[in-house]
Amino acid sequence: MERLFNFVYRYRAFFTLLSLEIFCVWLIIQNNQYQSTKYFNSSNRLVAQMNEASQNVRNYFYLANINSSLAEENSLLRKKLEKSERTVQFFNLKQIKDSAQFTQFDYVSAKVVNNTTKYYKNFITINRGADAGIEAGMAAISEGKVVGKVKSVTNHYAVLISLLNLDEQVSCMIKRSGYFGTVQWDGINSSVVSLKYIPRHVHPVVGDSIVTSAYNAIFPEGIFIGKIKEFNLKDEAPFYDIKVTLGLDFANLAFVDVIKSRLKKERDSVEQITFGESR
C-alpha cells in the first residue's frame, strides 16, 4: 500500500493532468448536449452584461447596415400585410373560423449581445430570456430567415445555437420540388452550408430556394434558409453534395425574433401518444 502511495505521489503531476483532463472532457461532452449546463455560458448575467457593453460599442460601426436591413424588412412586411388584407376583403373572410391556427406563432424580438461566426461551434447570446417567455428549444429567425434555436435560458438572457454550428441540423426542403433534406454547416465558410440527403432521382437547379420543412417541430414551415449555390453527384453516391448560400449575413446579425409556437405542446403530446416513448 505504501508503495502505491509513493507511486502516486511521485507521478502526482501526471495524475493531476489526467484527472483535470478527464474533468474537461466531461465538461465538453456535457456542453455539447442539447439543453445543457445553464450557468457556465454567456447567458450568465454578469458575462452577458459585459458582452452587452462591448456589443454596444461594436453596434455603432454597423448602424448603417442594421438600419437598412430593418427598413427593408419593414417594407416587406407592409407589402405582405396589404396583400393579406386584400385577400381577406376579396374572399370575405372576416370571421376566421379557427383562430388558434392563425395565431399559432408569437414572436419575441431580441437584441444580439454576443455572436461568433468563425469557430466550429458558434453561439449567439440575446438579451431576452425566461422573463419574455423564451424556453429552450424555440426557433430564432432574423429578417424572416433561419438563425438557430434556443439552447439555454436564464432570467434575462438566452443562448442560441447558431446555424453555423457543426452540431446543428435543420430539416428543410427544396421549395420548388418539395423534396426533404437536412441542412448542416461544414465548418469552413460562414456563408455556405451543406444540404444533405437529397436522393439521386431529384434534379436540383442552381438558385433553388431552400426553406424549412414542416417535419421539424421547432421551425414553422417555409422559413427561408438560402439558395443552392452548386451541386454535384459522385458516381455510386446515394445522395447529392449540395452547397447552399445562406440568405442571412450572420456576421452582421443585430436583432433576432424568437418564435413561440402555441401549438407545439399539443403537437408534441399527440405525437407522443401515437409514437410512444421511442422518439
Residues that bind other proteins (CB under 8 A): 12-14, 16-17, 20-21, 23-28, 30-32, 37, 40-42, 44, 47, 50-51, 54, 58, 116, 118-121, 123, 125, 159, 166, 187-188, 190
Nearest to 242 by CA among 260, 254, 226, 230: 230
Min dist CB 141 to other proteins, Å, is 20
Measured from the CB atom, the residue of 174 and 183 that comes closer to other proteins is: 183
| 246: enclosing H helix or E strand | strand 241-246
Min dist CB 217 to other proteins, Å, is 24
Instruction: Fill in the DSSP letter of residue 132.
Output: G
Alpha helices in 92-236 (DSSP H): 99-102
Measured from the CB atom, the residue of 94 and 234 that comes closer to other proteins is: 234
Phi/psi class of residue 35: alpha, beta or left (left: φ > 0; alpha: ψ in -120 to 50)? left
Measured from the CB atom, the residue of 20 and 93 that comes closer to other proteins is: 20
Min dist CB 31 to other proteins, Å, is 4
| 5: enclosing H helix or E strand | helix 2-10
3-state secondary structure of 36: coil
Min dist CB 36 to other proteins, Å, is 8
| 15: enclosing H helix or E strand | helix 12-32
Min dist CB 76 to other proteins, Å, is 30
Measured from the CB atom, the residue of 25 and 76 that comes closer to other proteins is: 25
Measured from the CB atom, the residue of 6 and 16 that comes closer to other proteins is: 16
Min dist CB 207 to other proteins, Å, is 25
Measured from the CB atom, the residue of 58 and 262 that comes closer to other proteins is: 58
Q: Are the CB atoms for 217 and 264 separated by under 8 Å? A: yes
- As given in the structure block, the three cell numbers for residue 83 are 396583400
| Distance in angstroms (rounded) separating the CA atoms of residues 162 and 145 | 12
Instruction: Fill in the DSSP letter of residue 220.
Output: P
